[in-house]
C-alpha cells in the first residue's frame, strides 16, 4: 500500500486496542522508510535497526496517547522515531557492544568498591563459563528488569530515557536497575 492509501490513524487506534496485526501492518508499511530516515541521522545500520525496533515498541506502548489534534498519525510516528534516533545519536559515543565482562565489571564497580574483587571479576571475564553464567543470570531477571539493565549498560541509555522508552516512572526504573544489579551480583557469586 502506498502511504497515501494506508490509514495510519485507524491503524494506531487498533494498536492502542491491543491489535498486534495492526502493529505488524504498520511495521510492514513503514519500517523500511523509517530505517532510511534513521540511517541518515545515525550513519550506523545496527544502531539504526535497534532504534527502529525501539520505535515500534514505543508506538505499541503509546498508541493510545496519539490524538489527531497532535497532527497526522504518520507524522506522530516519524516524530517519535526521529526523537529516538536523535537521542541515540546524542548517546552513541556511549554505545557499548554486548560484552559480558563489561556487565561483570559494572556489577563489581557498582556494588563493591574493592580492588581485590576487581581482579576476580577480570579473571571471570576471561572464562567462557563465567560468560555463560552471566547470560543465565540475566535470563532469570523479569523481562522488564532485564530490559532496563541491558538498555542502561549495553545500549547506554540514561535512566530517564529508559523510563520514557518503557513508559514507566523514573523511580521504578531506578529501583529495577538497582535490584537487578543486586540480583545479578548474587547470582554470579
Q: Are residues 88 and 140 in the same domain?
A: no
pLDDT beyond 60 at 134: yes
Highest averaged pLDDT of the listed ranges 52-56, 95-99, 129-133, 145-149: 52-56
Q: Is 99 helix (H, G, I), strand (E, B) or coil?
A: coil
2 part of a folded domain: no
Measured CA to CA in angstroms, residue 14 lies from 125, 140, 165 at distances of: 46, 33, 20
Contacts of 156 (CB under 8 A, 6+ apart): 91, 92, 94, 95, 96
Per the listing, cell 487498533 goes with: 14
CA distances from 47 to 44, 112, 176 (A): 6, 32, 25
The answer on 53 and 31 residing in a single domain is: yes
Out of 93, 109, 138, a domain closes at: 93
Residues 24 and 78 in one domain: yes
Residue 26 corresponds to which cell in the numbers above? Answer: 504498520
Q: Which three cell numbers stand for residue 54?
A: 525501539
19 within domain boundaries? yes
Residue 3 lies in a domain: no
pTM: 0.49
Give the total number of structural domains in the chain. Answer: 2
Amino acid at each position: 500500500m502506498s502511504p497515501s492509501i494506508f490509514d495510519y490513524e485507524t491503524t494506531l487506534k487498533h494498536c492502542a486496542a491491543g491489535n498486534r496485526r495492526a502493529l505488524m501492518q504498520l511495521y510492514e508499511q513503514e519500517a523500511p522508510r523509517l530505517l532510511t530516515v534513521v540511517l541518515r541521522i545515525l550513519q550506523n545500520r545496527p544502531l539504526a535497526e535497534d532504534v527502529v525496533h525501539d520505535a515500534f515498541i514505543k508506538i505499541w506502548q503509546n498508541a493510545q496517547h496519539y490524538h489527531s489534534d497532535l497532527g497526522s498519525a504518520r507524522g506522530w510516528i516519524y516524530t517519535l522515531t526521529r526523537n529516538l534516533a536523535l537521542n541515540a545519536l546524542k548517546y552513541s559515543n556511549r554505545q557499548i557492544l554486548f560484552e559480558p565482562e563489561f556487565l561483570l565489571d559494572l556489577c563489581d564497580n557498582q556494588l563493591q568498591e574493592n580492588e581485590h574483587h576487581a581482579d576476580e571479576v577480570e579473571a571471570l571475564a576471561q572464562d567462557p563459563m563465567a560468560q555463560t553464567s552471566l547470560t543465565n543470570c540475566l535470563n532469570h531477571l523479569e523481562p522488564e528488569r532485564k530490559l532496563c539493565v541491558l538498555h542502561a549498560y549495553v545500549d547506554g541509555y540514561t535512566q530517564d530515557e529508559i523510563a520514557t522508552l518503557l513508559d514507566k516512572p523514573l523511580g521504578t526504573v531506578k529501583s529495577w536497575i538497582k535490584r537487578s544489579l543486586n540480583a545479578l551480583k548474587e547470582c554470579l557469586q
